[in-house]
Amino acid sequence: MVDRRVRVVDSHTEGEPTRLVIEGGPSLGSGPLAERRARFQREFDDFRRFAILEPRGHSAVVGALLCEPVDPDCVAGLIFFNNEGYLGMCGHASIGAAVTLAHLGRIAPGSHRIETPVGVVGVELVDRNLACVDNVPSRRHLANVEIEVEDVGRVRGDVAWGGNWFFLTEDAGGEIAFDNIDALTRRAEAIKRALAAAQVTGDDGAPIDHVEFFGRPSRRDADSRNFVLCPGGAYDRSPCGTGTSAKLACLAVEGELAPGASWRQESVIGSLFSACYRLDAQGRVIPTISGRAYVTAEATLVRDADDPFADGLMG
């Protein structure tokens, strides 16, 4: 017996998938998106699992629930979720959502504002595939943190906020390349466990749920190549919008990248984000992340109440 139908549009941003829920999502009421995200997590986590986990999705899919914004100047509100839980901000999914909304005829090329649980972001839709996101203020929280990692040894890096919490390090222990993903994943997972054991956190004890390695690029037009381990154990196919924002914050505080200067971040699969930053009136780093997204599917997800895996296989 069918008890739910949900309309979604899938896209990928520089290789990383987004599933935008446009009809049939949970009713979260009104109020700030942070409060609605908390209600989503508290009362409707079965929907998260249903929408993106196997057999309808897979571990790399990031979901975005389209919501009515509080601010009437915003074209949409977005609540982001993945195979493990909920995200504050997601750069690639914001780009994907903007391109999807244009695909649906809901926005046109130009400047727009989108609400997220951690603040309002600006989106410039350049054309049908290219979008630029002005992210939330980003900053380095801790510098040159050293931790002892089991079976790895000493690792040093920075803790920074780019809409999510990151540990950024050049201690990848090997080449940042597609054929080295399994080894990079194991090392990043070990670092994440070590950070938790050493009680290295973000603000107010917030867990560091992303680990980001940096190394030499393979593309001649890139400044750096990264590997990002996301919450839930999946790696980011894109160069990671919030991770690139965290990197810009670290470069800015070290004086290694000037406001307005370009930083081109390559992903582990070879895709590219172009980035820069400006300083706001309070001197905070405001990153701009640019990338391309492509719509890949329009679908209706069906939940059959008799299906033993109706709410997903894991998570």
For the chain, give the number of residues.
Answer: 315
113: left (phi over 0), alpha (psi -120 to 50) or beta: beta
Neighbouring CB atoms inside 10 A of 187's CB total 24
Contacts of 216 (CB under 8 A, 6+ apart): 176, 224, 225
Q: Which of 67, 74, 132, 240 is catalytic?
A: 240
Strands 119-125 and 16-23: unpaired
Element containing residue 288 per DSSP (H, E): strand 285-304
Q: Which of 90, 230, 250, 276 is catalytic?
A: 90
Strands in 150-243 per DSSP E: 153-161, 165-169, 210-215, 224-229
Residue 250 is a catalytic residue: no
Nearest to 78 by CA among 13, 18, 128: 18
Residue 276 is a catalytic residue: no
Positions annotated as catalytic residues are: 90, 240
